[in-house]
Amino acid sequence: MSKITILLIFTLSLVVLPFTTAEIKNLQITSDSRPMILFEKFGFTHFGHVTVSIKDVTFTSTLSQPDPSRLGFFLLSDEALIQVLIESETNPNFCVLDSHYIQNLFTFKELVSKNSFNQSYPVSAPNEYSLFFANCQAETQVTMTVRTEIYNLDGNEKDFLSAGQTQLPMLYSMFSLAYLVFVGVWVYVCISNKLSMHRIHLLMAGLLIMKALNLICAAEDKHYVKVTGTPHGWDVLFYIFQFIRVTLLFTVIVLIGTGWSFLKPFLQEREKKVLMIVIPLQVIANVASVVIGETGPFIKDWVTWNQVFLLIDIVCCCAIIFPIVWSIRGLRETSKTDGKAARNLAKLTLFRQFYIVVIGYLYFTRIVVFALRTISAYKYQWVSNAAEEIASLAFYMVMFYMFRPVEKNLYFVLDEEDEEAAQQILQDEEFEL
């Protein structure tokens, strides 16, 4: 695989799952022979700065004595990437460090001592740049300790968040307040309807609390990274509450979809298997999320972890749909024999609406948000985060309203006057998903 192919793969992978921030990072590269190593991707304003410090540098080759001018760090914008690819096509011996479209920072030829270097560079042309290390020497292994510090100046203050993410602390704070209010309203509704409250409503309350705590930790994480360059431990709490929140979300959707605590106080064997699949997968997805967020693309298996995370997410999204479909089919079969057409029609209508809401939520947060992230200018990356949170809040509100504890829940409605009309509708084969 060529250097430029690797460069393209890494850059495109950022579009799929861009890493969170460009906080201060200390990285260890050991016996690495990759032609390209991507460290960060950051949106700069007119007052951007990049500081790269390296020490304990060694590089050896099995072919010949490596040329230190063929190993170095540079910045590359997404627009310039196309030009670099064109250059590579016309020159088979092309080295990206020779390109006129990169912002060359330094090569190993400029090491102050035998194995260390420390320099800060201003970035005055606002754009989104990727920080790369290039190794144009075949069969050359590099070992070094790297410290990166990338930020924009806001007056005299350093802002370690990318230009498109500097609004995230306020955004997450606003949504955390919205969920705290949501929790209060939900608790009031549950207390006001104690006789109609089921165990699922307690799980739903726990889900709201975990979502609020997750957003609070996300806001604090981004705030501390913004002002200090490090999350001060808030990233750990963020990952913990994120794991609990996502696991609870999938569990609640599965349990509601099966009618647990509403239609029946038990789960069938196949429904238990869905939970036994989804929950362990969420453990793996959480591990992948931590690796992606805390390491960055410089590790060799970063792209693989991205693929693992996406695959698990797709599997879980598909798995939680099956219990809803099973419940709808089960209700249709039951409606033909139990003689309670109006009640069964109400249940079927509610489940079908829930099915449509879940599908719409998954489609928006996985497809539409991805499209927004891809097409938005780097200054407006926060828009995709806002869209995702708005969609999530809307989904929670609709789901909680549909299955709120009320005396005459649609699960138990039985209007004898509409029995004959309901029976006719249920006999209509068009009443399907």
How many helices and strands in the chain, by DSSP H and E?
A: 12, 9
Contact between 130 and 36 (Cβ < 8 Å): no
The string of pLDDT tens digits covering residues 88-125 is: 788 778 888 988 899 999 999 888 677 788 999 999 88
Above pLDDT 90, what percent of the chain? 36
> Locate tokens 């509100």: which residue?
397
Q: What is the pLDDT of residue 343?
A: 62
Average pLDDT, the chain: 82
Question: Side chain identity at 257, as an amino acid letter?
Answer: G
What does pTM read for this prediction?
Answer: 0.84
The rounded percent of the chain whose pLDDT value lies above 70 is: 81
pLDDT digits (tens, 9 = 90+) for 131-176: 999 998 888 999 999 999 999 998 889 999 999 999 999 999 999 9
Whether 403 has a pLDDT exceeding 70, the answer reads yes
- Which residues have CB under 8 Å from 178's CB, separation 6+? 393
pLDDT at res. 272: 74
Domain 168-427: which topology? Rhopdopsin 7-helix transmembrane proteins (1.20.1070)
> 344-381 pLDDT, tens per residue?
666 777 778 888 899 899 889 888 988 898 888 889 99
Per-residue pLDDT at 431: 47
Helix 419-427 × helix 341-363 angle, to 10°: 50
Angstrom distance (rounded) from CA 44 to CA 21:
12
The conformational region for residue 141 under phi > 0 = left, psi -120 to 50 = alpha, else beta, is beta
Query: What CATH class is the domain 3-159?
Result: mainly beta
Q: What pLDDT, on a 0 to 100 scale, did the predictor assign at position 21? A: 53
Burial class (CB in 10 A: 0-12, 13-18, 19+), 193: middle
Residues of the chain with CATH 1.20.1070: 168-427
pLDDT of amino acid 414 = 46
Residue ranges, comma separated, of all CATH 2.60.120 domains in the chain are 3-159
> What tens digit of pLDDT does each residue of 304-346 get?
777 788 888 888 888 888 888 877 777 666 655 555 555 666 6
Query: Which pairs from 224-229 meet CB under 8 Å and 24+ separation?
Result: 225/21, 225/23, 225/160, 225/161, 226/159, 226/160, 226/161, 226/166, 226/169, 227/157, 227/158, 227/159, 227/160, 228/160, 229/23, 229/24, 229/149, 229/151, 229/158, 229/160
Residue 116, number of CB atoms within 10 A of its CB: 14
How many other CB atoms sit within 10 Å of the CB of residue 312?
21
At residue 89, φ and ψ (nearest 5 deg) are: -70, -25
pLDDT value for 338? 54
Distance CA 389, CA 395 (A): 10
CA 18, 363, 207, 256 dihedral sign is negative
CA–CA dist 324, 317 (Å, integer): 12
Q: What is the DSSP track for 103-131?
A: EEEEEGGG-SSSS-EEEEEEE-S-EEEEE
Give pLDDT, residue 205: 96
